A = this chain, B = another copy of it.
Amino acid sequence: MRLLVVGTGLIGTSVALAASAGGYDVSLEDQDPERVALAVSVGAGSPRRAGDPPVDLAVAAVPPAAVGGVVSRLIEADVAPILTHLASVQSDPQHQVESLHPGFAGFVGSHPIAGRERSGPHHASADLFSRRPWIVCPTEASAPAAVAAVSALAAACGALVTVMPATDHDALFARLSHSPQLVASALAGGLAGLDRAAVGLAGTGLRDTTRIADSDANLWAEIVAANPGPVATALRAVLEPLHVVVDALEHGADDRRREAVRDLIERGRRGRELLGGKHGQRAVRWATVAVVVPDEPGKLARVLNDAAAAGVNVEDIRVDHSPGQPFGIVELDVAPDRGALLERDLIARGWSATASPPPSA
Contact = CB atoms under 8 A, between A and B. Distances in A.
Contact of A177 (B188, B200, B205, B356): B205
Contacts of A318: 317-318
Nearest to A212: B205
Nearest to A250: B232
Interface in A120-142: 120-121, 123, 125, 127-128, 130-133, 135
Given A127-B352, A229-B250, 17 more contacts: A116-B203, A127-B290, A131-B322, A160-B322, A172-B201, A179-B187, A180-B210, A182-B264, A183-B238, A183-B242, A188-B272, A192-B270, A195-B274, A196-B280, A214-B273, A218-B262, A224-B257
B352 A264 contact: no
Interface string A219-243: 0111011001101101111110111
A188 B271 contact: yes
Contacts of A328: 278
Interface string A182-224: 1111111111101111111111111111111111111011101
Interface in A287-342: 288, 290, 292, 295-298, 300-301, 304-305, 307-308, 311-329, 331, 339-340
A225 to B, nearest CB: 4
Nearest to A198: B172
A105 interface: no
Nearest to A287: B123
Contact of A323 (B121, B133, B190): B133
A243 to B, nearest CB: 7
Contacts of A262: 217-218, 220-221
A340 B297 contact: no
Given A182-B264, A314-B300, A216 B359 contact: yes
A115 B322 contact: no
A127 B274 CA distance: 33
B194 A116 contact: no
Nearest to A275: B199
A254 B316 CA distance: 40
B210 A272 contact: yes
A152 interface: no
A43 interface: no
A350 B15 CA distance: 21
B355 A125 contact: yes
* This chain: copies in complex: 2
A165 to B, nearest CB: 13
Nearest to A237: B190
A343 B133 CA distance: 22
Contacts of A131: 292, 322, 325, 327, 329
Contacts of A100: none
Contacts of A119: 360
A272 B118 contact: no
A210 B183 CA distance: 11
A285 interface: yes
10 contacts: A127-B353, A131-B322, A180-B206, A189-B270, A189-B271, A192-B271, A235-B246, A239-B239, A278-B321, A301-B308
A116 B205 contact: yes
A113 interface: yes
A176 interface: yes
A359 to B, nearest CB: 5
A181 to B, nearest CB: 7
